[in-house]
Structure 1
Amino acid sequence: MVRSAAYLFRERGYSGTGFRDVIAHSGAPRGSIYHHFPGGKVQLAEEAVRYAGDFVAAGTESAIGEGDPVAAMHAFVGWWRRVLIKSDFQAGCPITAVTIESHEDAPQLAAAASAAFQRWQDALALGLTAGGATPARAARLATLIVSAVEGATILSRARHDPQPLDDVAAELELIVYSALTQKPG
């Protein structure tokens, strides 16, 4: 149910996804969703955001384990590129969808989204630092990478074209190489 919610949020958004949709997509019995998520849709969304954040972070962390921060950045970008193309540009980031649509009455959604984005940034910063960037520069670059990729994903969806994401990846690669070879001024 959590995976189904994450999948549906990335295509329909938080507001456009209901329990009925999650039940239909997951094939779970109707009563089970209320049993497992007594906190309702907010609890389900919070867990879906954690799941999506962990899933993407695991791929990035795996690439970082290979010791190449540029490869880790490309793994992060590549994940979103595959999602876009496989979904015919209908799917975006479920965490962004929940963040944009979270309301004041559900601050835990913003907190879960912030934690997921931070995990991505931490993973990228770790790889950049291991590659030779200073910790401060690595942290700033990780924020830039996550922000740029999220924005490029939105542009790519709007245009039904991966070119914005490809352009961002090319520029980020140059910036990352620069950070690994130069001392900050």
Structure 2
Amino acid sequence: MKVTRAISDRPSPQRDRFIRAAAELFRVRGYNATGIADIVSLAGGPKGSLYHFFPGGKGEIARAVISYATHVASQSLSAIDAPTAANRLIEYGTLLAGWMEASGCREGCPIATTLLELAPDSGEIASLGAAAFNDWAAIFARDLE
């Protein structure tokens, strides 16, 4: 039996640009202060393409941003060569502090900003946030084994 995926599920450089642009804007402005036009402008693609990849609109983009940012943060955490969970936490804290300093403390975590704005009204967003934090906790738990 041949399995086919929906067009919006296929890897696409343009889709990825929309996700990265939205993540950047959510990190800087927050979810509510970011419009579809802002995402389209920063990503450099046509508005019709955004709705092609995200027919559910901004809410679907938010879910994709949380998944993307979870993956990036998990990779960053896993890439730290630390002998203990405490060392990994210190190294990651140093990395985050560097990012905050570089932005003049004007940029946050796209997951945190999106969760703060949407989780109270969206169980799906809250679940994605919980899954992100569980992924990161699992990385530290492996250090403790």
User: Scaled by the length of structure 1, what TM-score is found?
Assistant: 0.63
Identity across matched positions, percent: 30
Which of 102, 109, 112 is the equivalent residue of 2:128? 112
Per the alignment, residue 76 of structure 2 pairs with: 59
Unpaired stretches in structure 2, ≥5 consecutive residues: 1-17
Per the alignment, residue 14 of structure 2 pairs with: none
**Count of aligned positions:** 128
**8 Å contact kept, 1:56–1:76:** no
The Cα shift of 1:96 comes to 1.1
Whether 1:46 and 2:63 are equivalent positions in the alignment is yes
The Cα shift of 1:71 comes to 3.1
Unpaired stretches in structure 1, ≥5 consecutive residues: 131-185
**8 Å contact kept, 1:102–1:109:** yes
Q: Distance in 1 between matches of 2:57 and 2:121?
A: 13
Q: Distance in 2 between matches of 1:105 and 1:50?
A: 18
The Cα shift of 1:93 comes to 1.2
Q: Give the superposed CA RMSD.
A: 1.7
Q: Distance in 2 between matches of 1:21 and 1:114?
A: 27
What SS class does the counterpart of residue 102 from structure 1 fall into?
Answer: helix
Q: In the alignment, residue 108 of structure 1 is paired with which amino acid? A: E
Q: Distance in 2 between matches of 1:41 and 1:89?
A: 26
Which of 33, 45, 50 is the equivalent residue of 1:33? 50
- State which structure, 1 or 2, has the greater radius of gyration over its C-alpha atoms: 1
Runs of 4+ in 1 over 6 A off after TM superposition: none
What SS class does the counterpart of residue 110 from structure 1 fall into?
Answer: helix
Structure ranking higher on relative contact order (CA contacts 8 Å, 6+ apart) = 2
Per the alignment, residue 15 of structure 2 pairs with: none
User: Deviations along 1:67-91, whole A, 9 cap, x unmatched?
Assistant: 4433311232123212211211110
The Cα shift of 1:52 comes to 0.7
What SS class does the counterpart of residue 80 from structure 2 fall into?
Answer: helix
Q: Distance in 2 between matches of 1:46 and 1:78?
A: 28
